[in-house]
Amino acid sequence: MSHPFFERHRATLERAVQAIRERTYWSAFPESASPKVYGEGAAEAGRAAFDALLGKRFPLTQPATVGDVGGERSPYGVALRITYPKPDIDGLFAAAGRAEDQWKKAGPEAWAGVCLETLARINKASFEIANAIMHTTGQAFLMAFQAGGPHAQDRGLEAVAYAWDELARVPARALWEKPQGKGDPIRMEKRFRVVPRGIGLVIGCCTFPTWNGYPGLFASLATGNAVVVKPHPAAILPLAITVKIAREVLAEAGFDPNVVTLFAHAPGGDIAQELALRPEVRIIDFTGSTANGRWLEEHARQALVYTEKAGVNQIVVDSAADFAAVARNIAFSLSLYTGQMCTAPQNIYVPRGGIATAAGHLSLDQVAEGIAEAVRRLLADPARAVEILGAVQNDGVLRRLEAARSLGKLVLDTQAVAHPAYPDATIRTPLIVGLTTQDRATYLNEWFGPIAFVIATESTAESLGIARDAVRGHGALTLSVYSTSDDVIARAIDVAEDAGVALSINLTGGVFVNQSAAFSDYHGTGANPAANAALTDSAYVASRFRVVQHRMHV
């Protein structure tokens, strides 16, 4: 008998499965924050729900609670003062294990149904979650709403679709007959049971807690595993709201809500490592630094580990039909959320002799200045600038900005911007520094934040060669090329496929290299060090369960 939640959302799931097969545009959750879409008063109600959480203990009841913990700081200067249940590790894992015993027997339709209902309710809370994301990550409100709300929800649904598609390949039973010549055939009945791998641990990041967290959370849930969600200490609230909704759905569906639990903790210490080495943890989804990701890959041997780590994203500029459009596109990519994105570009390679454009030849300095001027124009109006830049999430970005100013020729200095509504917000514009190929020790490291290098190369061939080596050695999630030459574009495609990185070609319109569309784009390839697995394909979910059979003679 089908689960009621599954039947309620069956059509959405079937359409999502169609979308991952076709890779064309589709979204289940509207990205427009208009009241015409989400209803009159939805935005105000979401803000009120967020405000009601401030200065209080978050309303989440979990077992094995031994106190309170909290300490998030809004990059906009809003006092949060929210605390969360502090769990006892042994007690929380014991509760999760007991809950998983029931959950893993429920079967794929129940797993999918609960996930789909959870996502639907999360969507209804999009405005509350958007405010939570804005005031923990520093994203401007519209970006927090879109990327942290509907886009993240689409990524969660995408994971459920992949899980359902894989699970649907496993029949419940089969009648096996082997001919025996003149004798009666051997007949056996074989039954196949999907067995989840074990407890999943989702280790959240401080910049995109839902967008990066939902794929792992829902991939594990949809394949029958319990999940412990460990948010970054600086961005607990968005995932706390998520966990609360998931637990409510689980309880309404007749399951132990401890199938999903929250492990909030204070900054510092080695909590993530301690959790990752628990024998009960069999799946880990991590987004964060290269050092922490590698540690998990090397030490959490009992678990299936998926990591998205740091990388050096690059742009190769060879030539341009419309350089002004190229500069505008790059400027927006450098400025969006102050460059605090795993997909944001850092290195811009330009031939020392300049580039050809439809309007004539441009020197290296003219290319660099053209990009800088595009940034200035984009951010000239402070009211508009703050809605593009958002706020700086942590002091490490500020320290890197200051250190990078003296690394080479200052093409564009970073500036502080005053926010008209939040006077205590920390907002900075991009920094652009000119380097040469001799500065490899600098530009082959990730400088996370609004920091870009324009690097003079001998030729486009050298630019592509450096890009290939950088992806192979240091990892990247994006690579971009601008050229009017079919030959150069063909060589760039070869480089991208050889190094294992997604390539964008001549982006000049409303799509930017640091954006990734659910159901269509493959985010992460698993073919370079930035991510040890493709994070949006069937392989991402297929190893989260096993199939165990039993057979008998008929």
* 431-458: average pLDDT: 97
Question: Above pLDDT 90, what percent of the chain?
Answer: 98
- pTM score > 0.85 for this model? yes
Token code pair at residue 214 = 């939902």
Q: What is the pLDDT of residues 501-548, one digit of tens each?
A: 999 999 999 999 999 999 999 999 999 999 988 888 899 999 999 999
Which residue's entry shows tokens 């000049």?
508
Q: What is the pLDDT of residues 19-54, one digit of tens each?
A: 999 999 999 999 999 999 999 999 999 999 999 999
Q: Which of 140, 106, 129, 133 is closest to 45 using CA atoms?
A: 129
Q: What is the pLDDT of residues 199-222, one digit of tens each?
A: 999 999 999 999 999 999 999 999
Q: How many degrees, rounded to 5, is the angle at CA 352 between CA 344 and CA 413?
A: 45
* pLDDT greater than 80 at residue 2: no
Token code pair at residue 268 = 């510092």
Q: State the Cα–Cα distance between residues 23 and 351, nearest whole angstrom.
A: 35
- How many other CB atoms are there within 10 angstroms of residue 39's CB atom? 11
Q: Which of 222, 206, 200, 178 is closest to 13 using CA atoms?
A: 222
Nearby residues of 287 by Cβ (< 8 Å), 6 or more positions away: 203, 204, 205, 208, 212, 213, 307, 308, 342
* 238-253: average pLDDT: 98
Please tell me the predicted confidence (pLDDT) of residue 268: 87
Q: How many degrees, rounded to 5, is the angle at CA 305 between CA 304 and CA 311?
A: 155
Cα 275 to the chain's mean position, in Å? 21
Name the region of 24 (left: φ>0; alpha: ψ -120 to 50; beta: rest). Answer: beta
Phi, psi of 360 (to 5 degrees): 120, 175
CB 452 within 8 A of CB 404: no
Q: How many residues does the chain have?
A: 554
Q: Which of 79, 60, 272, 50 is closest to 145 using CA atoms?
A: 50
Q: Give a three-class secondary structure readout of 263-313.
A: CCCCCCCCHHHHHHCCCCEEEEEEECCHHHHHHHHHHCCCCEEEEECCCCC
Please tell me the predicted confidence (pLDDT) of residue 26: 97
Domains and CATH numbers, the chain: 40-167+193-309+534-553 (3.40.605.10), 314-505 (3.40.309.10)
Question: Above pLDDT 70, what percent of the chain?
Answer: 100
| DSSP structure string for 410-472 | EEE---B---SS-TT---B--EEEEEEGGGHHHHTS---SSEEEEEEES-HHHHHHHHHHHHH
Q: What is the pLDDT of residues 259-275, one digit of tens each?
A: 999 999 999 889 999 99
CB 516 within 8 A of CB 508: no
Q: How many degrees, rounded to 5, is the angle at CA 315 between CA 321 and CA 322?
A: 15
Please tell me the predicted confidence (pLDDT) of residue 1: 54
